[in-house]
Structure 1
């Protein structure tokens, strides 16, 4: 495969997804799989987790099938592969198997650079998946999300969404998708405020603050008032999910980082990090996972899968509060 022959073809024999932004990596992988299945619905997809590729297993994964179906092999965290596996990957990218698409997800940087260099020299298709660290980059991302959804959003609306949601691309993408699905007409600042800021009397974020602190009765009371004054159920679910995710992100962050550096890394103002640290006492990793699972069910319910959005929200609040301070 001569250098640069792959162009932007998602069915190129080898695709490099280079960078640490997981959402963008997942989208590259998703686009490759979608293109492969469009060409062959029986495409065999093997998504190898970090550390899952062992010496000799690449030959097995890429060997021709008796049924001659197309294959997609995804190797996560390729920069962490051992030397024997890297040697096999370097040999493979130089002469990829016909009918097989290999996706190498690589964080970039110096670690594992020899594999990147070998794939690039062989002409692999490369897609950048870098972190969007500049405000202008994140603003462009939000605008692109709305364009992709076929919706028009004002500049002020996009900025307001960034102010309300923060810098996490998954949360931004989810917010854009929610607004695109649940609203009509041009998305302006008022629409964003309705979903992600709420009314002064009682907002979804106030409900979330009480729930993640384990204050069940108060959270339920605030929830009922929020619904009474017109807060959108979808906005409340989003606020609850944001609160739980914030706990997970702060809990797993490097505790040795300076407060200012940590704030930049997580895309949160320092005051919010301090508040989350107070809220996270007693939470566990399993508790975060269980709370997010309950919120996923609530999100589906308030979007039509359930008959009573208010009841679904009450159950979600109880579930979140029940995980706080180590309670089950």
Structure 2
């Protein structure tokens, strides 16, 4: 029996905006499965509104865990008339109560309010609302965040990262990056940001080769992730594979250090990911990832790991004759969360 085809998407009558440069409207639909792009788009809408008025009030709610009246309450004018931004997640699992109230709101949006609805498209839940939004000319815009799967799409994504940072990058460097990060757009984005922040001049193919050469996957991040997760044996195996593949110890340590620094900036802070990201100058997805990475860590073990990484950084840059031992000691401290030899 042939597989059932998904229902065809209704033709949209509203503007379709690029996720890198969206503009606000009373209702902004951020659709599609690519989470990195969606998070960037939502953050860009927030930044746009905040640049217009620093008193912007930002609220978050979930469409799948919704209490009746919340949407109207958050969008209603405040005493001093500050603009409001309401970010709604979980649209693909929205409750009946949210569906009904969002449809009603779409007909009579509040002045000075912007509602951003995130819907991954993983289900057809809320199709009636999506169709209504896509027909609401003059009231809504859509920011499609389609899956980035093809090599050409990943190349364009990476090129956009450098262009947004006004950083020159060679085409050969972009090709090498997209080949090294073929399966994970989040890691590709992180690698681009690392090169943007670490490399003082233009990013060349030689620099990318130095950081990520000899790997099909992001070996440096694989080493960092497995060590931070406490998987000691896997981390040592990943380290050995990275070195055997020709990875340079210096960028390998840099990848570990970058993750630990991010964890340290997020550790102990409360509040939503979006609010914290705005406060410390990070992206929402970076805060979420750091919070996941912090599971099982405490202030003492994190401080010890940062010190071990700083020592390894100095040693692989000429402070020791045995860079491999320096790396193994760093991985041991991080993965075991205990002093070396302890």
Q: TM-score surpassing 0.5?
A: yes
CA distance in 2, matches of 1:197, 1:38: 40
Q: Which residue of 2 aligns with 1:64?
A: 77
1:151 matched to 2:167? The reply is yes
1:214 matched to 2:227? The reply is no
Deviates more, 1:21-30 or 1:147-156: 147-156
Deviations 1:98-146 (A, max 9, x none): 0110000011253321111111111211011111121211111111112
In the TM superposition, what is the alpha-carbon distance from 1:180 to its structure 2 partner?
A: 1.5
1:101 matched to 2:114? The reply is yes
In structure 1, runs of 5+ residues without a counterpart are 243-285, 324-328
CA distance in 2, matches of 1:98, 1:307: 56
Q: Which residue of 2 aligns with 1:83?
A: 96
The within-5 A match list for 1:24-39 is 24-39=37-52
In the TM superposition, what is the alpha-carbon distance from 1:149 to its structure 2 partner?
A: 1.6
TM-score by length of 1: 0.67
Q: Which residue of 1 aligns with 2:186?
A: 170
1:241/1:110 Cα in 2 relative to 1: closer, same or farther (>3 Å)? farther
Q: Is the 8 A contact 1:17 1:104 kept in 2?
A: yes
CA distance in 2, matches of 1:5, 1:160: 34
CA distance in 1, matches of 2:234, 2:149: 37
In the TM superposition, what is the alpha-carbon distance from 1:86 to its structure 2 partner?
A: 0.4
In the TM superposition, what is the alpha-carbon distance from 1:168 to its structure 2 partner?
A: 1.7
Q: Which residue of 1 aligns with 2:252?
A: 235
Q: Which residue of 2 aligns with 1:193?
A: 209
Q: Secondary structure at the match of 2:114?
A: strand
Q: Secondary structure at the match of 2:142?
A: strand
CA distance in 1, matches of 2:187, 2:296: 16
1:58/1:207 Cα in 2 relative to 1: closer, same or farther (>3 Å)? closer
Q: CA RMSD of the aligned region, Å? A: 4.2
CA distance in 2, matches of 1:30, 1:184: 27
Q: Which residue of 2 aligns with 1:161?
A: 177
Q: Is the 8 A contact 1:198 1:231 kept in 2?
A: no
CA distance in 1, matches of 2:222, 2:22: 47
In the TM superposition, what is the alpha-carbon distance from 1:208 to its structure 2 partner?
A: 5.1
Q: Which residue of 2 aligns with 1:129?
A: 145
In the TM superposition, what is the alpha-carbon distance from 1:176 to its structure 2 partner?
A: 0.7
Q: Which residue of 2 aligns with 1:12?
A: 25
TM-score by length of 2: 0.64
Which of 299, 321, 324 does residue 335 from structure 2 map onto?
321
Q: Is the 8 A contact 2:151 2:182 kept in 1?
A: no
Q: Is the 8 A contact 2:94 2:125 kept in 1?
A: no
Q: Is the 8 A contact 2:223 2:235 kept in 1?
A: no
1:319/1:289 Cα in 2 relative to 1: closer, same or farther (>3 Å)? farther
1:47 matched to 2:65? The reply is no
In the TM superposition, what is the alpha-carbon distance from 1:236 to its structure 2 partner?
A: 2.8
Q: Secondary structure at the match of 2:143?
A: strand
1:113 matched to 2:130? The reply is no
